[in-house]
Every structure is written in structure tokens, then in C-alpha cells.
Structure 1
């Protein structure tokens, strides 16, 4: 039996892989529902990125299919079983703080900087090239392989709803959209909207607007409030300066007559690990909680400060829960929309292990936050777990160990990957241990060499599972 030098095969295709990846990254594929149409259900950008990925597949001789500009697949081989690979071409909004153009891939000190470089265009293209190598080597396979591409992974998964309504899912598979050595457990994911009532009573300060957050799965990196007050604004500014100094955040303060505007800056991060960031919105509310607002503003500010600030496990809202295998629940308030005459809402993203459920969490929260109505948002994802004894999981871990010399072990995350869509599914790479996790952050990057390392591991392990 011929031994395949997977490292050599990847090395000979490095420049092609990088060129294709850069081409894909240059497409701004942020979900754009404001400009969505029947032709482009989640916006033109994600659809154009899907077209480009499928174009790669057609160029390389695969069978491809586009499902209504929402999802698509690239197929190879034949067999009674189908092995699946699930990636996505959509990316989270850019946000502030970039040092380079987020859609012009730039390599600095061996790091590829761009939105989507690590989540998920870089890992997805590493997995695609792994399959491309297997095809080009004309290796015998006993299973069909279906590489599925989504356009709405970052918010809602409508792409996979559409895909599964039209196509049969593979029997087992993985998503290259997390970290090594493996993710075989994923917490449940649910978002909750708090709707606050109108209250005309007055206070020392009138809350006009309070806004923060750009996505339900991102801790807000900045928050802005506009308010009207007859209080001494110099004293308020001094109090803010003391607060930011004590709490390691920063803020801008502007007073124009009785109108005061404050913008507070924290640190944006992925909601699955809220402690990696600094929630600007809850910090701003915590500072403002020292003042007496008008009735509706008071309820909004106090609820945020009392129940949502500095509480990543949900103890203050009564939803805390822990499972021995899957770990602790996490809670993060990520979208704040308040206008004096309009909506007054907060969206809370919760990642929960087995042993609780979305309805129970809503009941627990409602019992505590009495000034708002708690609504479970659509798109709840239940916890998912594939045993570490599963042959696929074993193959992935053994291959990982072979190329890294590191011990493979099972992990559960709070993030949601497409791996949970397979009955036997997991996420496998491509963030290596010891690397900084900058997914969903400004200046997102992936170490260039890690893209190629991942492609080697993917090629070897995929072939073992389909040969």
C-alpha cells in the first residue's frame, strides 16, 4: 500500500490555496437583511461568496449545486454512506478598531489579517483543499463526500434550514469552524429579548437613547447613551472619569446644554466566552445606575446594572447551571436598543449545557427581571454531544496527535458550529492550541502556516474515513 505524503501534497499547493482564500476573503459577505431580496435571501454579499466557493469546485471538476443562493454543496465519490464537511462563507460585521482593510487580506509577520480569515474562510478552504488533493490523487473512496457551504451561520442558520428542506444531510461529518484537538460537545444556544414597558414618570435624568451591540453573538465593544438632565454636568464628567479609571475602560463625554452624550469603550468578543471581552453596555449602565432616571429609563438602566453586569454565569438572573461533562452555562447581554418614544429592548445570549432548556431559562429569568417581558427568540439550538468513543472522533484525535505530537482530548464549547447538524458530528479545527482566538474581533487573523497545517491534518483524516 502506497503511503501518501500529505505534507508534500499540501506544500505543492500552498500558493494556489492562499490565492483562492484571498479571493474569497475579498468578498464582503456580512449578512445584509436591509438589502435582502427573493434572489438574495440574506443579502448579495453572502450569495456572491457562495458563488465563488462553488466556482472553485466547478473549476476543480467536482459536482456542485446551489440551493437558492442560501447554501450549496460540492460533491465527490460514490458510496452507500455520505461523509459531510460543513463550512460557511458569511462573516460577522466588521466593527471598529481595524488596523488594515478587513476585506483586503494582508499578511504581517506570518499572520493573515482579514475578516473571515479564521472564521471561517481560512479553515474552510484548508478543508476544501484537503478534499481537492484526495480527488487529484485519484484515491479510491468507498463513500460519497459532500462539502456543504452555508451563508448564514453567524446569525440564525436560515441557510441550513433551507438546505435541509431541500437535501438529505450526510450520515456523519465535521465542521472546520472551531479549534483543535476537537469539539465533540456543544452547549445549547438561545437568545432572549427583554421588552420594557413605557412609563411617563419623571426623574433627575431623562434617558433619550441607549444603544450598543452589532450581533446577538458578540459582546458589545462600545455603547452610547444620550440623556437630558439639569444636573451639574461637570460633576457627572468627573464621576465618569473616576469610573473608567477604576474599571479599566475608557469613555468620551460631551455636554451640549442639558443634553449629555457618553460613549463608553470596552472590548468586543465572541459571546460563547464573554469573559474574553469587556461589555461596554453593562459598564455604561452600571455607571449610570447612580442617577435617578425617568420611569422607563430607570427600569432599563437598573435592570442592566443589577442583573446583567459582570455576571457571565447568569447567577444574578437565576439561570446558572453546570453539567459535569459540558461545563457551566454562560450569559451575555449583547444588543441594546432604547429610544424614548420607541423600542426598549435588550437581547441576551445564553449558552447552556444539558440538564436545562430554553423554556426553563426564560421562566427563571422572568421571575427575577419583573420590569420586562422575557421572550425566547427563534432559532434555539439544543445541546449536542458525540461520544469520544465514536470511530470518527477517534480518527480525528489520532490524526491530530500524529501531526502535532500533542495529546488529543474531547472538549465542549459554548459556540454553535454546523457540527451539531450531523447526528454523528463534531467540529475539528482549525485554531491550534496556544494560538490567540480573535474570531469576531477587530484585526481577526489566522497564522498562515496554520492554514497549511490544518489542510494536512484534514486531508489525512478525511481519507482515512472515506477510503
Structure 2
């Protein structure tokens, strides 16, 4: 086995090369685009897959793109039974208000900035780098290892079924797309569309809502024209699974509108409902849905979109519910609290996932985490959604450390040099230990 000093020395000696290669990946605008031949998720994600294959081959590993959806680096000859790390190279749109160029890896102080540096190009490349350094140090795994790179995680993980059509899943592995320590369970996710008719004439004079609204983040900038008045609501953007860290522009808009003398009738009542039921009620308490359990904590809720229809208003709500509750319980509870005559439609449904937190594999990862960091490695659950929901035998492991939250899916995405190097160290030891298991 390679000793810890050799691991530390190899990481430090190769740091500059690591960032040079990572900068090439950050520069690729791998946001989902229009599908075309050999690029089911657009030209940007395809370019990222081709770029990683070139790097993999340069490092001396077997490389392959599978069904134009995922690429992998393989060390070993067994294509059936292998340990796998499943990360992704696609990213969410950059948004606005960056202080650096989002497509240029930029160091400011001890932090590196760029779209994907945390979610998920930085950690994805750190796992490949960990494998490269082990190879350079002379390690030889008993078990075949694959580092798999996806291209559609941010838009529904439609790359996973394409991969599984051609390849067997790993016998065990992780995705470096969440947090530490080991994440053995992920909450259920359900998104709803609430259509509320406005039939008393109070919709007249109301313009369309405009702003940056998406299910992956709390909206932070929304405008609407009411008569001759333009109402502009400013919030604070945060990931939709951490709404308490942001300020929702939809609920800010509601607070402004209910004090606007030109709004009356059903429109006024509708925005009073939003304000009463949703404003700062991040855990469903305004809707009687304050579910919680010991494994996963509290339900989380946030409005993610609002739009005008021909006869009313449509509102999008996102829920992350505890593992011991069901989607039907959330649906029934929400149905009972809707505005009058509203209809409810499920637009996204992802069941919770749970793994055996006492498995030998999870025990190895927990021990590695504790050895490297000195922190408590007791497995946890998450509000996030990762490849662990769609790739069999995968759990989440890193890259964010306790206390780090709300960095991804917003402007000025960052990861510190110290954390990137610490991730490489953790993944080197984890790959080495898992690669030696029978």
C-alpha cells in the first residue's frame, strides 16, 4: 500500500498541472443545448465528453464514450464487476452578476471561481486526478476501477439510461456531487404546477411575469407590469434545496402587490395566499406540511416559478420530503391548502433512495473520511438529487465539507484550493481501499 506521505507529496508536486488541465474543462460551455447527431444533450456537453476522453488517454487509461451520453476512464480489464465513480461535466446556465468570467478558472485569494468548479467539473476531475496519481505511484488495483463522466445530470440524468443500455452498473461507487460524510439516503423530490383561475376581471391590466426562474434555484429577480406601474422584486438566489439561504423574489413580489392599491378582488386574494402560506415558510409549515423524520430532517419547500395564463396564474412549487414520507402524503396535504378552484399537477417526481449505511463499502468510505479529516464520518442523508437516484449501487460522497452550503447553481461558484486538494487525498485513499476489496 502507498503511504500517506507519498500521497501528500504527489498531490503537492502535481498541483499546477492539475489546475492547467481543469481550466480546459471549465472553459467548455457545457450547458444543455439542442440535440443533434452524436450529441443528445447539445454541442457543449458533447465537447466536454470529447475533451475528457483526450485527457484520459493522455493519462494512460482506457477511454470510451458510451452511447454519446457518458465517457469513462477504466483501469483494469473486468468490464462486468468494477468500482465506479459517477460524476458529470454538464453545468447549469451561468446566470448574472458574476465578478469573474464564469468560463475562465480564476483564482482570487485561496478560492477558484468558475461555472462547474464545485458542481461538478472540479470534483469530477479531482477523482480522475486521484486515479492518475495512484497509477503514477505504482499502485495496482485488484478490482477494476472506472471514473464515469456524465453529460445530463443537471437536466434529468437522461444520460444514465443510455449508459445502462450498453454497460453494467458498478458493483459499488460514489458520485462526488453532494457533501461529506457518506450520504446513504436522498429525500424524495416532487414539483407541482398550481393553476389558479382569476375570473372576476381583476386579471385585466396585469402583464406577464418576467425573470430568471428555474427549478434548480430560488428566483431572485422578477418583474411584472400592473397598469402603468412596473413592479420589480429583488431576492437573493440560492439552490432550491436550500431556500432558507436565499430570498425568494416570488414571495417578495407578493408582499409588494398586496400593498398596491391598484390590485383587488381575486388577484389580491391570490397574492395574499402566497404571502400567508409561502413567505419564509421553507419547511411547509404554512401548508400544514411540516413533515420531518430522524433520518432526513425537515421537508423543504420553495416556489420556483410564476406565470400568467389566459385565465389566471400558474405557480411552480418544489418539495424535498423526508424519506419516511410519501409523495401522496405531500400531494394530499397541498391539495387541501390550494387557493379556491385551483388545480394541481405533478411536473417532476423522484422517489427517495436509501442504501444500507452499515455496508462494507460505506464503512470503508466513512473510515477514510475520518482518517483524512479527523471529523465524524457517521453516514448522513441529503436534500439534494444526484446520480445516486438513477445509477444502481451509487451513493454520494463529497465534495462539500460540513458547513458549506448554497454555493452551486448561483453566481461566483467557487471551491478553495485547500478543499480541492483535500478531495484528491480522500479519493486517492478511497479508491486504493476499494480497489483492494475482494
TM-score using structure 2 length: 0.91
Name the counterpart of 2:418: 449
Find out whether 1:272 has 2:272 as its counterpart: no
How far the C-alpha of 1:81 sits from its partner, in A, is 2.7
Answer yes or no: is the 8 Å Cα contact 1:200–1:295 preserved in 2: no
CA drift of 1:132 comes to 1.6
In the other structure, the counterpart of 1:31 is 32
Deviations 1:179-225 (A, max 9, x none): 2223222111121122233x453239732112344320211111111
Corresponding position of 1:40: 39
Q: Secondary structure at the match of 2:116?
A: coil
Q: Which residue of 1 aligns with 2:282?
A: 312
Measure, in 2, the Cα distance between the counterparts of 1:178 and 1:10.
23
Q: Which residue of 1 aligns with 2:55?
A: 56
Match of 1:249 in 2: none
- Superposed, 1:103-142 pairs within 5 Å as 103-142=103-142
Query: Which deviations, in whole Å up to 9, do the C-alpha atoms of 1:48-93 show, x marking residues without a partner?
Result: 1122122211222222222343222222214463111011111122
Closer, same or farther: CA 204–427 of 1 in aligned 2, 3 Å: closer
Rounded to whole Å, the distance in 1 between the matches of 2:312 and 2:51 is 39
Query: How do residues 269-418 of structure 1 correspond to structure 2 at under 5 angstroms?
Result: 269-291=238-260, 293=263, 297-298=267-268, 300-338=270-308, 341=310, 344-369=313-338, 370-378=340-348, 380-418=349-387
Distance in 2 (CA, whole Å) between partners of 1:435 and 1:139 is: 32
Distance of 2:40 and 2:102 partners within structure 1: 24
Distance between the aligned counterparts of 2:312 and 2:119, measured in 1? 32
Contact 1:209–1:338 under 8 Å retained in 2 = yes
Q: Confirm or deny: 8 A CA contact 2:63 2:72 kept in the other structure.
A: yes
Aligned twin of 1:86 = 86
After the TM superposition, list the runs of 4 or more consecutive aligned residues in structure 1 that deviate by more than 6 angstroms: none
Contact 2:238 2:406 in 1 (8 A): no
State the shift of 1:164 in Å: 2.5
Instruction: Tell me the CA shift for residue 298 of structure 1.
Output: 4.6
Q: CA deviation at 1:416?
A: 0.9
Contact 2:234 2:252 in 1 (8 A): no
Structure 2 equivalent of residue 16 of structure 1: 17
How far 1:23 sits from its partner (Å)? 0.6
Aligned counterpart, 1:72: 71
Please state how far the C-alpha of 1:398 moved relative to its aligned partner: 1.5
The answer (yes or no) to whether the contact 2:186–2:323 under 8 Å persists in 1 is no
Name the residue aligned to 1:250. Answer: none
Is the CA contact (8 Å cut-off) linking 2:242 and 2:406 kept in structure 1? no
Deviations 1:146-197 (A, max 9, x none): 2221122123111223223332211111011122223222111121122233
Q: What secondary structure, in the 3-state scheme, does the structure 1 residue paired with 2:205 have?
A: strand
The 1-side partners of 2:231 and 2:302 are apart by: 22
In 2, Cα distance between equivalents of 1:458 and 1:431: 13
Please list, as runs of the form range in 1=range in 2, the aligned pairs for 1:97-176 lying within 5 A after superposition. 97-176=97-176
Residues 272-326 of structure 1, C-alpha deviations (whole Å, 9 max, x = no match): 1110111011111122124464767456534433332221111223333111111
Q: What are the superposed Cα offsets for residues 4-61 of structure 1, whole Å, 9 maximum, x if unpaired?
A: 62111222221221111111001111223xx333543222112211221222112222
Does the 8 Å contact 1:89/1:120 carry over to 2? Answer: yes
SS of the equivalent of 1:347 reads strand
| Range that drifts further, 273-282 or 291-300 | 291-300
User: Contact 1:192–1:347 at 8 Å: present in 2 too?
Assistant: yes
Give structure 1 stretches of 5+ with no counterpart.
229-258
TM-score where L is the length of structure 1: 0.86
Distance 2:124 2:311 in 1: 41
Gaps of 5+ in 2: none
The secondary structure found in structure 2 opposite 1:304 is helix
Q: Distance in 1 between matches of 2:175 and 2:294?
A: 25
Q: CA deviation at 1:451?
A: 0.8
Q: Secondary structure at the match of 1:264?
A: strand
Check 1:196–1:110 CA distance in 2 against 1; reply closer, same or farther (3 A cut).
Answer: same
| Pairs aligned (count) | 432
Q: State how far apart, in whole Å, the 1-side matches of 2:88 and 2:27 are.
A: 15
